[in-house]
Amino acid sequence: MNEHRRGYLITGGGVLILSPDALLIRLLGDAPWNILFWRGLGFALVVLLVVAVRHGRHLPAACRAVGPPGLVIGPLFALGTVFFVISITSTSVANTLVIIATSPLFAALLSFVLMGEMLALSTALAVMAGLLGVVITVWGSLGAGRLPGDLAALGTAVCMALNFTLIRRARARDLMPVYALSGLLITLAALPFAEPFAFTGIQWAWLALLVLLVHPVAFLLITLGPRYLTAPEVSLLMLLETVFGPLWVWLLLAERPPAGTLAGGGVILAALAANAAWRLRGRRPIPFSCGGRGRG
């Protein structure tokens, strides 16, 4: 099996494993802090186990090697996770996943603003279209009580975008230990507000599936994807979650996506797919200049 095909299998498998994430959170009820307590703890334990197996007796050195970037990336990842769970329990799943799908576009914009990286014209157009899609999606939530959840989803997208940018700057470092730290931070943040043992019956099975398999295993697989695939290919595969996540909730919980979400999501998905497809063609990007800053 060649590396390209391996990359598709690993990344696509990770995204498909992740796709019932929102459904499981919904099945656990309207208790975001209880979910976050166990989600963070389970994630920290699984990632720490993987890091320990990988580094063995050199684990302390691996943890120190993350350096200052890790002290920012870890808390950002934790904050994005908190926003995500709050969003899933406060708005429609479709709204959450559609808004979060804009994170690659925000990452491109932040790379341009913070790092002076050239922004291709196709990406600049996709960013503008993606922002329009977010406005359409959020507009449909006005007066429906979903606006706080939509804003939390936007917070998740921005946190993810900042993380993408910082990880690119620190790509020479092994940052895996940082994610174990982020899991512990999530648990500590949730602890004052959580009732960890409030789940009952079948909820414990859903919780175990979520925190020990779906979240950590999917994350570990998806983080391997960029080793074998280009960024546009990974972005295209990540769109599967935006499609399948609301689908599982629609089929099993009868939560129909709002009309505004379908319209805004269509704009966002079209922008992401068109931009990724254009970049995959290997064309030289046309620089987009704003205020004289085409590149750093």
7 domain-assigned: no
Domain hosting 185: range is: 15-286
293 domain-assigned: no
- How is residue 177 written in tokens? 């230990």
78 domain-assigned: yes
Per-residue pLDDT, 286: 44
**Rounded to two decimals, what is the model's pTM?**
0.82
292 domain-assigned: no
| Nearest partner of 189 among 18, 28, 39, 29, judged by Cα | 39
Per-residue pLDDT, averaged over 57-79, amounts to 84
Q: Is the pLDDT of residue 35 over 60?
A: yes
**Count of structural domains within the chain:** 1
Q: Is the pLDDT of residue 291 over 60?
A: no
1 domain-assigned: no
How far apart are alpha carbons 74 and 177 in whole angstroms?
Answer: 9
Q: Is the pLDDT of residue 26 over 80?
A: yes
Q: Is the pLDDT of residue 232 over 70?
A: no
CA of 288: how far to CAs of 110, 111, 122, 132, 294, in Å?
A: 14, 13, 9, 19, 6
Q: Which range is most confident: 19-28, 48-57, 103-112, 133-142?
A: 19-28
**Residue 162: what are its φ and ψ, rounded to 5°?**
-60, -40
2 domain-assigned: no
More confident call, 246 vs 34: 34
Residue holding tokens 């689908």?
247
275 domain-assigned: yes
How far apart are alpha carbons 260 and 142 in whole angstroms?
Answer: 11
Longest dimension (CA), the chain: 60
Q: Tell me the per-residue pLDDT of 150-177, one tens digit each, with 9 for 90 and over.
A: 899 999 989 988 887 787 777 667 778 8
Per-residue pLDDT, 119: 67
Q: Is the pLDDT of residue 106 over 50?
A: yes
DSSP β-ladder status, 119-120 and 287-288: antiparallel
Q: Are 157 and 84 in contact (CB under 8 A)?
A: no
Average pLDDT over the chain, rounded to whole? 81
8 domain-assigned: no
